Amino acid sequence: MDSLKEDFEKNGFAILPGFYSAQQIDAVVDSIAKRKLERPMNVTIDLLDTGERSLLGLLTPKEIETRRMKINDLYLDMTDVRELALSERIAPVLQQLFDQSPALCNSLYFEKGSQQPAHVDSIYMTPTTPDHLIAIWVALEDAHVDAGQLEYYPGSHKIEPMIFSNGLRHFVPDEMPKWHAYIEEEVARRGFEKQVFSAKKGDVLIWHANLLHGGGPIADPARTRKSLVFHYFSAQDATKLEMTLRPVSCGFWIDRPIQQVPEEAFDRARFEEAYLAKYPDVAQAVKDNTFVSGTQHYQLFGKAEGRSV
């Protein structure tokens, strides 16, 4: 454990090969698949191609099946997902790296590569105390080279964080071009080189909140790259923020409401229902998988044809 912590502090990450068994991984994957089929109204998703936020229950079954998305915070009501994040094996590792108890604050489920540009988590989920945020990435299947693998820059956690115009380390959207330029300059100056995590099912990558990482390009869109990401604040910071902590093993999970969804997502769902009800031919085309939704038909053809609701 001491050598693991030394490597983590030096490089900003640690790898635990084959940490979870195939049986445990398969059970969680099956459980999530069933959850998706239920189309719950208490699970938020982010559509990776458009940046839209919605609820699983507001998407059509075909959209859930085909669209690239990030499913947020399944840990809130799925005990097997929490078990993966705070098992009696992983929680002590995080506690050792943190020097205190971890408090699980979110979970992210991906079936496809994120293709997210290189970034650091701490500017988006800024901890009250510097360095009191840590993350793990769990491979739910072998990561194929064409599926958009996880990429990271060893040692990049040592780059001094940029202070934004708000006086904080928390990002200001309009200043992100400046942040990217600063990071690129520092990476080049320090000679940091990108590495690719060619993960096997059950592997775990733990990374520092300031480690530069992202998702590589997807060469084969048909391939999946199933994974779960968990972020943890320190229990100390979570307590300061008066969050509700539920104990598990030697850590905690933060019990909170789901993330807010914009009204536009509900407007889209109402449009979808009305559009399909008005145009049975489109409804049949969606049923036949010609279109993933009535909204897609409207955007591609319906508007030009003068259709409306």
Task: Round to the nearest angstrom and report the end-to-end CA distance of the chain.
Answer: 62
φ, ψ (nearest 5 deg) of residue 254: -90, 120
Q: Using CA atoms, how far apart are residues 86 and 102, in angstroms rounded to an integer?
A: 9
* Residue 289: per-residue pLDDT: 86
pLDDT tens-digit readout, 91-132: 999 999 989 999 999 999 999 999 999 999 999 999 999 999
Q: Using CA atoms, how far apart are residues 101 and 92, in angstroms rounded to an integer?
A: 8
Tell me the mean pLDDT in the region 59-74: 92
Closest to 45 (Cα-Cα) out of 25, 65, 16, 23: 65
Burial label, 77 (beta-carbon count in 10 A; 0-12, 13-18, 19+): middle
Check if CATH label 2.60.120.620 holds for domain 2-261.
Answer: yes
pTM: 0.93
**What are the residue ranges spanned by the domains of the chain?**
2-261, 264-302
Residue in the structure block whose two tokens are 């699970």:
43
What token pair was written down for 307? 């259709």
pLDDT-derived band of residue 220, with 50, 70 and 90 as boundaries? very high
pLDDT-derived band of residue 209, with 50, 70 and 90 as boundaries? very high
What single string gives the DSSP state of each residue in 215-269? EPPPS-TT----EEEEEEEEHHHHHHTT-EEEEETTEEEEE-PPPP--HHHHHHH
Closest to 105 (Cα-Cα) out of 241, 9, 291: 241
Edge-to-edge strand list for the sheet holding 213-215: 195-197, 150-152, 213-215
Tell me the mean pLDDT in the region 163-191: 97
pLDDT-derived band of residue 192, with 50, 70 and 90 as boundaries? very high
* Residue 287: per-residue pLDDT: 86
Q: Using CA atoms, how far apart are residues 297 and 272, in angstroms rounded to an integer?
A: 10
* Residue 49: per-residue pLDDT: 86
* Residue 1: per-residue pLDDT: 65
Tell me the mean pLDDT in the region 234-252: 95
Q: Within 10 A of 66 (CB to CB), how many other CB atoms are there?
A: 12
